[in-house]
Amino acid sequence: MIDLSVFIKDLKFNNPFLNASGVWCTTYDEIEDILKSEAGGVVFKTMTLEKRTGNPEPRLHVEKDFSINSMGLPNFGVDYYCQIVSKLKKYKKPLIASIAGFKENEFYLLAEKIKKSDFDALEVNLSCPNLEGKGIFAYDIKTSFKILKNIRKIFKKKLGAKLPPYFERETIKKISEKIIEVKLDFVSLINSYPLGSKIDIKDEKLVIKPNQGIGGLGGKIIKPISIAQVLLFNQYFKNEIDIIGVGGINDAEDVYEYILAGAKLISIGTSLLKGVKIFKKIKIELEKIIKEKKIKNLNEKIGLIKI
């Protein structure tokens, strides 16, 4: 038997496949689609205190090797997700909340609401790049770790943070030390690359409308960036913090690459736009790779890259 199960502390996932928050996870039906699929768990749409319609359209552009989005966190508000989560416990898969505040205090109010609900874990989204007039919290290290430290006092279940890409090794080392100090359980690496754009030369216009046509860059093109982030964070974490790898995952070879780099789970974003069947496809492919390599348990290969 091939064992694909992984754990974040004592929280079990039957396999390492998740959706990336933001894709196919806004409505009850979408979340249920993921839970009925071969996914190992689900990350809910990043929720805010109030319902949001998000940025004006067009706000998403997808090509073969990349996507650009400036969605603006459209969601039904935290109360909606806290109400529906109990109905989804029947699938017996981990249910992960994702939250984002526009001000520091909003993060704490959101965490208090999640604390009282049936979510199994909480991911604090400090890295959304698509809010007009708002900076990325995670690049303000002092404020972001003050937020995480205070949420850790509020929320006692599995707690993690979704981070943007960082561009210096020393910065990653410093942030890793802070994450260990705060005692997070996991991090998701990475959110979309903050500044991406595309011009349609036929119409001579930008392909998305918000933020002057600039949005988060995702898909296959960012995988090398994300892999490097996973490698470095894993090196500095020294097995104290688990990693969810995100970015450019299209097939099982991509999954296996993230596993070797040090990710325990992976989240699928752009490729999931085509539908939840991708989870079954990747699971079959990964089982084939593991069988060929004569591995009994996927955990045997986490972070075991040869240098």
Q: How far is CA 109 from CA 48, 51, 79, 261, in A?
A: 10, 15, 11, 35
233-279 confidence digits (pLDDT tens): 999 999 999 999 999 999 999 999 999 999 999 999 999 999 999 99
Q: State the amino acid at position 49 in one-letter form.
A: L
End-to-end alpha-carbon separation of the chain, Å? 30
135-187 confidence digits (pLDDT tens): 899 999 999 999 999 999 999 999 999 999 999 999 999 999 999 999 999 99
Catalytic residue among 35, 121, 122, 128: 128
Give the integer Cα–Cα distance in Å for 53 and 37: 27
Q: Label residue 73 by pLDDT band (50, 70, 90).
A: very high
Question: Which pTM was predicted?
Answer: 0.97
Q: Are 216 and 193 in contact (CB under 8 A)?
A: yes
128 catalytically annotated: yes
- Over 90: is that where the pLDDT of 8 sits? yes
Q: In CATH, which of 3.30.70.260, 3.40.50.1220, 3.20.20.70, 3.60.110.10 is domain 6-54+74-195+219-301? A: 3.20.20.70
Alpha-carbon Rg for the chain, nearest whole angstrom, is 18
Size (the chain), residues:
307
Locate tokens 């909480």: which residue? Answer: 122
Amino acid 266: pLDDT: 98
Domains of the chain, residue spans: 6-54+74-195+219-301
